[in-house]
Structures are given as structure tokens and as C-alpha cells.
């Protein structure tokens, strides 16, 4: 079935314009010679049956990148699964619609189709599992290093060429000392000219590139890869990769955690395990910086979910750990995934109170829950993110789908009680710049994406939008010199937003850049964005129940941007490791007492605040296209280095159980289906009362987009349905931009941007 959505997608020609991005990101008041670029939407955290997902690689790629049958198709895509091991062959397709010449359907000896839940050893013919044996035949586990190196990467390279899509392999690492991180080492992946070779017309594909570097990192540093084989056929065979995980200048074999058989760090459990694990993760970043400084990234994922850091186990991340990562590898550890996936889960983002057992005590996810779908580290004004920005670090905001499954529904159903597909709900819009010799050849551009995408992510020129609330953003700060007026800067932003590009003007900076100005200068900040008309990708056409509480009748599938907040704070320089304000655990009492006075000095920025709020009364619409909005303001007599960033929502201030009087997102507990009813904090609060003519039962596989009444899967309490699951996510939409830095000469330098 082909859906007829009316929202304006990024033009397909955007892919053709992608090119190699110059490193650095420093505007410094001069942008001459900067290559042009385009914002393209992508996702770098999702799962297949190679880890704990529910579908094959072929199906996930189709669902995530197709622009017809699944119109939310992304412009770029990173396939990532958990580190560790798995026993299922995710390269086996579900049905004939996913079969290709090189990867046809596979049948067993009796003629029964073998799909992506078939084990490696039960595959016809059986697949040899290498390394130290894990599991019991015929369901032995394959280490992630082998599945990436020998099976997942070749398939993805083939699909990238076969479907002409920009894709590469990543991983959601199980982090030593912590929980998870989205990462990749792209060296070797997707060679520059695969289009020069013809694709096979029959079974079998020999990859032109490789993911050997990513596979080695998985073996060396993922906590769940307990294999000691050095990437060989068996533990002691010496036949295979013979990896050595040493880091130049580190203790390596002299480290008490070093395992000489495995040639890697294997920290012991028990007391101090978290601290030892963290040190191993710091070594992982040093290894990336030594061997693949421009070809890798490391972004902690849903980092509030597992609670605060546990020095004796493997739980969350405190701010000092993020600083440590960025200190040793600033071009690699450059942000966090503080807007998690699992947006349709019974507990949004899978964050909830008393989620984690730390030392025998049940401990909340940090912040207790999400806030408008974002973790407290990113959502709280003046919190962890603003503290890192207040140092002038290159530390950027990202989101992901974390796709696994649809919960109680099948993978092709439009409803969900667990996850959204990559691109369906959340998107990272990243500016990717074009090189002069790119020649605008779509095939070549699509297949040489890894370095371009990683470079684009590194710059911080990314904004994140949920539910297609906005799909274009130009955010710019310009020094007000030579008579430059606000209207002129607005017009720059307007032109950039129309082109889906950035502002390339002398004396201006955009997201992830800094503008260096003399003390006392005035700076004009302008924003142009598109709130696209028509329907988004929600299957629900009935009125948003959250807005209905305040008398606003707005269909869930046609959200309207209500306001844009400008948030700013001072930059006061890097904090020194070991100082009193370098470390700090977010208060475990936050849900009951959300008081910034209880937050340690190292985890907050007391100067951060909302500077402006724009809405329909204070922004202007374009004369020829009302989807576009423009707005601006002036920072006069700037005396100190600082940053400005944006966020926006479809919800106005004072929406019960959603936003406070200032428009800040409230805890998502009151739309969480299961955990909130068991806590003292509260329970489901927002009724969903619309009775429609097309409300399919839960047992029907619904693939359309016209559910006009509250769906059957919503929780029912005393005969009333309440907002939860996917309805809660589609009701409560936010976008976030990354910051622009202003560096005042003679004030604090924004050292993180080099």
C-alpha cells in the first residue's frame, strides 16, 4: 500500500548534493570558501535479529529508507545492533519482496523458508561460528565482531549499492562501566567507487570494502564481547585476525585488567567494577583517536536510562564521565543521545522510577522519566547539557529510534506499544557539505557517505525533530556591524531555509560554530524554519487529547508548531579534572523535588535561562508560503562569551501534565501506561474520549493512516481510555537545535571548537 502523505519531504536531490565535510566548525566571523551543503535526515541506533530486534537487515533497511511504501524514508542510515553476540541470522529475508539477486530467499532441505529468526547453525548451509564457544549447538552464539565483519557489512554494502542508499555499519556498544553508546569506526566501509563494479546477478556478493576496524573495536572494547580468541577461528588457533587491543602510551599488559590470552582489558567484577570499566572505555576512545581519529564517533545512548553511575557495576553516566570522554577524544566523543528511542513504550524511552538495581537498591532512571520525550540531561534548562556547553565543549544533542519492534503489534502495523521505525518519528537533520569534485553524481554520492555523515555529525550542525514538527531550520547569529539590520539577517535565514541549507556569510555563524566578536558588539540572532503543512506520519486523525484539555482541536497527524524558545548561557571555560566542580551525580530525589539547588555545581550552569519565546504573535510568516516562519532578536553590548540554542513544541505553556507555566516539558509519568500506576508520583491523567468510525481491533494488522478514534490498545480505567504508548508520543512533540557559540575577544575562549 502506498500512503498519500502531504508533508513536504527533503528533496531526493539532496542525496546527490552530499560531499566531504571539512573538519573544524569554527566560524570565527569568516565563512568564505565554505563548501555548500544540505540538511539530510538520518538515524544511527536501531536493531535487527542479529541482536535483539524483530526483523532482518533487509526489512529494516527498506522500512527506514524507502520513500514510497514507507514514506518516512531517511536520507542516510546507520545499521547498528548491540555489541556482544547473537544466535540468529539477520541476513535471511522474511519474504520475496525483500529478496535480491545476491541474497535470495533461503529454504531448508524440506523446502521450508528460513527467515531472520533462523539460527546461524540451522541456516542452510550451516554457518560456522568462530572464537571462544558461546551457547549450545545448534544455537551457538556468533560474536558481534564476526557477524559485522563477515555477514552484516557485506550485505549492507550490497544494499547501499543495489538500492542506491547512503548506509554504513555502526554498533550500539554495551559500555564497560556504563550502559550503552551509539558508535562506529567507518574506516574501510563503502569504498569510493563501488559503482564502477557491476552487482552480481546471482547468489553471492564479495564486498569491495570492509568493516574490519569496527569488528576489531567490538572485540577489543565492547563489554559483552567476552571472547578471548583475538578474532580467530578458535581461542588458540592463531588463524584469523590476531587482534591486539593495545593503546600506544597506555599500560596495556602492565594494567591489572589486561588479559594476555585475549590481548585486551578484561576488568574484574565486584567492588570497583564500574571504575575499572570506565577506565577501559577511556582506553577505547584513546584507541579510536590513535587509529581512526576522523573515521569514528562515540555517542552515549539513552544515557539517563540506567540510573546514575555505579562504581561497582555497569549503569549510567555522570557528567564527569562525559567530560573524560570528550577530553581524550574531542573529535570522537562529541555528543549524547539524550532524546532516546522507544518513544511508544509503556514507559516513554524505557525510563521509569525504581528501574535499576544498584547495590541491592532500586534506583530511578536519572530524572525518573523523560520530559517531552527527552532525558533530563538535555531537557532541563541549566542542567547537564548546558553545563557542558558552558565550558565551550563540542557536545551535541542527538536522537534515535532505537527500533526493536512494535510491542504488541506486528512489524508492519502502523500502531505501536514499543518503538517507531527510524525516520518515522525522530530524525537527526545533519548538514552534510559537498566537495567540488563530487560531480553531483547521485550513485557515487550515495555510496561514499560514511565519512561525509561522520564529519557532519562532528560539526554539531544538526537539529532534531520529533513527529515532523519542523523539517527545515536556519539558525544564525551575525555581528551587527556596518549597518547590518535584523531584517537582513532574517532574509539570510529565509534564503537558507528555502534551500534546506545553512547561512554562508562573513561575520555569521550557525549551529556548532562560534562567532568571534569584539567586546561590546551587538549580535543579531535570526531563525527561519518550516512547519510543514498536511499530515505527518502518524496513523491517527483524531484531535490531540493533550491539546483538547486546553480547548485546542488539532488532529494528531497535523501538528502545528506553537512556539520556539531561545535558551542561552555563559561560557566560562573547561573545568579541571579533580576539581570540586568537575564531577557530580544528578540528584536521585529529582522526581519528588525538582530543585536546581539540589544539583551539584559540576552538573549545572546557573547562568542558563530562556532568553526569548516566539509564537504566532511574534514571528512572521513568509508571504508566499505560510509554512515558513521567521523571527529575530538582538543581543546588545555583548560582554562575555556565551551560547544560544533553540527548542520548540506543538504544546503551549500550561497544558496539564505536559508543560509548566514557562512552557518547559513536565515529567512524562502521567502518560506512561504501567509504571506510574505503581508509584506515589501519580498515574495516567489525560483521557482519550474520541469515538471514531475506523478504530481497528488490536488483532487486525492495520497498515493505513486513517484511525479516527482513540485506539483499542490504550489503557482502559473505569471505562475511560487514557493517553499512553504511541498516542502519547504523537501528542507531545519537540524539536531541539544545537548551539551557536559567541566568543568575545578578551573573554573566555570557546576552546572546544577547533
pLDDT digits (tens, 9 = 90+) for 524-551: 999 999 999 999 999 999 999 999 999 9
SS3 content of the chain, % helix, strand, coil (to 5): 20, 20, 60
pLDDT digits (tens, 9 = 90+) for 367-408: 999 999 999 999 999 999 999 999 999 999 999 999 999 999
Q: What domain range is 699 assigned to?
A: 472-572+607-744
Q: Domain for residue 207, yes or no?
A: yes
What average pLDDT does range 462-489 have in this prediction?
Answer: 96
Q: Quick check: 272 pLDDT over 60?
A: yes
Give the Å distances, CA to CA, from 708 to 651, 691, 693, 695. 21, 8, 7, 7
Q: Domain for residue 411, yes or no?
A: no
Give the distance, in angstroms, between the CA of residue 270 and the centroid of all CA atoms in the same chain: 32
Q: Domain for residue 587, yes or no?
A: no
What is the C-alpha to C-alpha distance for residues 395 and 514, in angstroms, rounded to an integer?
Answer: 13
Q: Quick check: 437 pLDDT over 60?
A: no
Q: Quick check: 105 pLDDT over 60?
A: yes
pLDDT (0 to 100) of residue 449: 75
Round to the nearest angstrom and report the end-to-end CA distance of the chain.
49
pLDDT digits (tens, 9 = 90+) for 17-45: 332 222 223 333 334 445 578 999 999 99
Q: Average pLDDT of the chain? A: 92
pLDDT (0 to 100) of residue 117: 97
Quick one: CA dihedral 427, 433, 437, 441, positive or negative?
Answer: positive
pLDDT (0 to 100) of residue 714: 97
Q: Domain for residue 732, yes or no?
A: yes
Give the Å distances, CA to CA, from 741 to 475, 478, 504, 572, 754. 12, 11, 16, 12, 12
pLDDT digits (tens, 9 = 90+) for 561-582: 999 999 999 999 999 999 999 9
Q: Quick check: 169 pLDDT over 50?
A: yes
Last residue of a domain, one of 383, 406, 429: 406
What average pLDDT does range 72-91 have in this prediction?
Answer: 96
What is the C-alpha to C-alpha distance for residues 645 and 663, in angstroms, rounded to an integer?
Answer: 16
What average pLDDT does range 319-333 have in this prediction?
Answer: 98
CA neighbor of 290 nearest in space, from 334, 247, 244:
247
Q: Domain for residue 581, yes or no?
A: no
Q: Quick check: 239 pLDDT over 60?
A: yes
Last residue of a domain, one of 362, 381, 406: 406
Q: Quick check: 556 pLDDT over 80?
A: yes
Q: Quick check: 680 pLDDT over 80?
A: no
Q: Are 33 and 428 in contact (CB under 8 A)?
A: no
Domain count, the chain: 2
What average pLDDT does range 645-659 have in this prediction?
Answer: 98
Percent of the chain predicted with pLDDT > 70: 91
Top pLDDT among 627 and 15 is at 627
What is the C-alpha to C-alpha distance for residues 377 and 387, in angstroms, rounded to an integer?
Answer: 10
The pLDDT-based confidence of 410 (bands split at 50, 70, 90) is very high
pLDDT (0 to 100) of residue 444: 44
Question: What residues contact 106, with CB distance under 8 A and at least 6 apart?
Answer: 92, 113, 114, 118, 123, 124
Q: Domain for residue 334, yes or no?
A: no
Q: Domain for residue 4, yes or no?
A: no
pLDDT (0 to 100) of residue 355: 95
Last residue of a domain, one of 406, 425, 447: 406
pLDDT (0 to 100) of residue 442: 45
Q: Domain for residue 425, yes or no?
A: no
Lowest mean pLDDT among 16-20, 247-251, 412-416: 16-20
Amino acid at each position: 500500500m502506498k500512503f498519500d502523505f502531504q508533508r513536504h519531504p527533503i528533496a531526493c536531490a539532496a542525496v546527490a548534493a552530499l560531499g566531504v565535510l571539512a573538519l573544524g566548525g569554527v566560524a570565527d566571523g569568516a565563512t568564505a570558501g565554505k563548501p555548500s551543503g544540505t540538511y539530510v535526515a538520518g538515524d544511527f541506533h536501531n536493531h535487527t535479529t542479529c541482536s535483539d530486534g524483530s526483523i532482518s537487515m533487509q526489512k529494516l533497511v527498506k522500512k527506514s529508507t524507502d520513500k514510497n511504501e514507507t514514506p518516512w524514508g531517511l536520507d542516510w542510515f546507520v545499521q547498528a545492533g548491540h555489541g556482544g553476540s547473537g544466535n540468529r541470522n539477520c541476513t535471511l529475508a522474511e519474504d520475496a519482496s525483500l529478496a535480491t539477486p545476491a541474497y535470495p530467499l533461503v529454504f531448508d532441505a524440506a523446502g521450508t523458508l528460513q527467515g531472520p529468526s533462523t539460527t546461524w547453525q540451522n541456516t542452510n548451509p550451516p554457518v560456522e561460528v568462530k572464537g571462544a564457544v558461546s551457547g549450545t549447538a545448534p544455537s551457538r552464539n556468533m560474536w558481534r565482531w564476526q557477524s559485522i565483519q563477515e555477514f552484516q557489512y557485506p550485505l549492507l554494502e550490497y544494499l547501499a549499492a543495489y538500492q542506491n542508499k547512503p548506509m554504513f555499519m555502526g554498533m550500539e556498544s554495551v559500555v564497560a562501566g556504563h550502559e550503552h553508546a551509539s558508535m562506529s569506526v567507518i574506516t574501510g566501509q563503502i569504498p569510493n567507487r563501488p559503482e564502477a563494479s557491476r552487482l552480481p546477478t546471482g547468489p553471492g556478493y564479495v564486498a569491495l570494502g570492509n568493516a574490519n576496524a569496527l569488528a576489531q573495536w567490538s572485540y577489543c572494547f565492547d563489554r559483552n564481547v567476552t571472547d578471548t580468541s583475538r578474532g580467530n577461528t578458535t581461542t588458540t588457533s592463531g588463524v584469523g585476525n590476531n587482534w591486539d587491543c593495545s593503546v600506544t602510551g597506555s599500560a596495556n599488559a602492565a594494567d591489572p585488567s589486561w588479559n594476555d590470552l585475549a590481548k585486551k582489558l578484561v576488568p574484574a567484577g565486584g567492588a570497583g567494577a564500574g571504575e575499572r570499566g570506565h577506565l577501559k572505555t577511556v582506553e577505547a576512545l584513546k584507541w579510536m583517536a590513535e587509529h581512526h581519529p576522523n573515521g569514528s564517533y562515540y555517542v552515549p545512548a539513552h544515557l539517563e536510562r540506567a540510573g546514575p553511575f555505579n562504581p561497582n557495576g555497569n549503569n549510567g553516566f555522570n557528567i564527569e564521565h562525559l567530560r573524560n570522554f570528550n577530553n581524550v577524544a574531542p573529535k570522537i566523543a562529541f555528543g549524547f543521545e539524550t532524546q532516546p528511542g522507544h518513544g511508544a513504550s509503556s514507559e516513554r524511552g524505557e525510563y521509569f522510577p525504581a528501574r535499576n538495581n544498584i547495590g541491592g537498591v532500586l534506583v530511578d532512571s536519572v530524572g525518573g522519566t523523560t520530559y517531552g520525550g527527552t532525558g533530563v540531561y538535555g531537557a532541563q534548562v541549566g542542567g547537564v547539557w548546558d553545563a557542558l556547553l558552558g565550558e565551550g565543549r563540542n557536545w551535541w544533542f542527538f536522537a534515535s529510534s532505537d527500533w526493536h519492534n512494535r510491542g504488541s503489534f506486528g512489524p508492519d502495523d502502523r500502531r505501536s506499544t514499543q518503538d517507531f521505525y527510524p525516520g518515522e518519528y525522530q530524525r537527526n537533520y545533519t548538514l552534510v557539505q559537498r566537495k567540488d569534485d563530487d560531480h553531483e553524481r547521485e550513485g557515487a554520492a550515495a555510496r561514499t557517505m560514511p565519512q561525509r555523515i561522520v564529519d557532519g555529525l562532528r560539526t554539531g550542525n544538526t537539529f532534531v525533530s520529533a513527529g515532523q514538527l519542523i523539517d527545515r531550520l536556519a539558525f544564525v547569529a551575525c555581528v551587527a556591524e556596518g549597518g547590518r539590520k535584523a531584517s537582513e539577517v532574517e532574509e539570510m535565514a529565509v534564503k537558507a531555509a528555502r534551500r534546506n541549507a545553512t547561512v554562508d556569510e562573513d561575520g555569521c555563524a550557525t549551529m556548532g560554530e562560534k562567532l568571534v566578536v569584539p567586546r561590546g558588539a551587538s549580535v543579531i540572532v535570526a531563525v527561519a524554519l518550516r512547519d510543514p503543512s498536511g499530515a505527518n506520519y502518524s496513523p491517527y486523525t483524531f484531535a490531540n487529547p493533550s491539546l483538547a484539555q486546553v480547548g485546542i482541536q488539532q488532529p494528531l497527524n497535523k501538528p502545528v508548531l506553537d512556539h520556539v524558545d531561545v535558551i542561552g548561557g555563559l561560557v566560562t571555560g573547561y573545568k579541571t579534572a579533580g576539581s570540586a566542580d568537575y564531577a557530580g551525580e544528578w540528584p536521585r530525589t529529582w522526581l519528588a523535588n525538582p530543585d536546581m539547588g539540589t544539583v551539584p555545581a559540576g552538573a549545572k550552569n546557573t547562568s542558563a535561562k530562556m532568553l526569548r519565546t516566539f509564537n504566532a504573535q511574534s514571528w512572521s510568516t513568509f508571504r508566499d508560503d505560510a509554512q515558513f516562519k521567521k523571527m529575530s532578536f538582538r543581543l546588545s553590548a555583548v560582554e562575555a562569551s556565551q551560547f544560544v540554542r533553540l527548542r520548540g513544541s506543538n504544546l503551549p505553556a500550561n497544558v496539564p501534565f505536559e508543560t509548566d507555566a514557562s512552557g518547559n516539558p513536565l515529567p512524562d509519568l502521567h502518560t506512561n501506561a504501567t509504571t506510574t500506576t505503581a508509584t506515589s508520583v501519580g498515574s495516567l491523567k489525560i483521557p482519550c474520549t474520541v469515538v471514531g468510525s475506523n478504530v481497528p481491533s488490536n488483532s487486525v494488522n492495520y497498515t493505513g493512516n486513517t484511525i479516527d478514534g482513540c485506539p483499542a490498545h490504550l489503557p482502559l480505567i473505569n471505562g475511560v481510555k487514557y493517553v499512553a504508548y504511541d498516542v502519547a508520543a504523537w501528542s507531545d512533540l519537540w524539536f531541539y537545535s544545537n548551539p551557536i557559540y559567541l566568543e568575545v575577544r578578551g573573554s573566555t575562549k570557546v576552546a572546544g571548537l577547533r
